[in-house]
Amino acid sequence: MNEIVKLTGEHLHSLDILAVNCLEVKDRMKRKARQTHDTTHHILRDELKIITGTTAAKLPKLDSMKRTIRRERQVNHLTEKLEEESEARAEIERNAANDRLEKYIMEEK
What crossing angle do the helices spanning 40-49 and 62-108 adopt, rounded to 10°?
Answer: 120
Domain edges within the chain: 17-108
* C-beta atoms surrounding 47 within 10 Å: 20
Q: Indicate yes or no: pTM above 0.75.
A: no
Report the C-alpha gap between 37 and 73 in whole angstroms.
10
Residues 64-99: pLDDT tens digits? 999 999 999 998 887 787 788 888 888 888 888 888
CA angle 29, 32, 28 (to 5 degrees): 40
Residues 19-46: pLDDT tens digits? 999 999 999 999 999 999 999 999 999 9
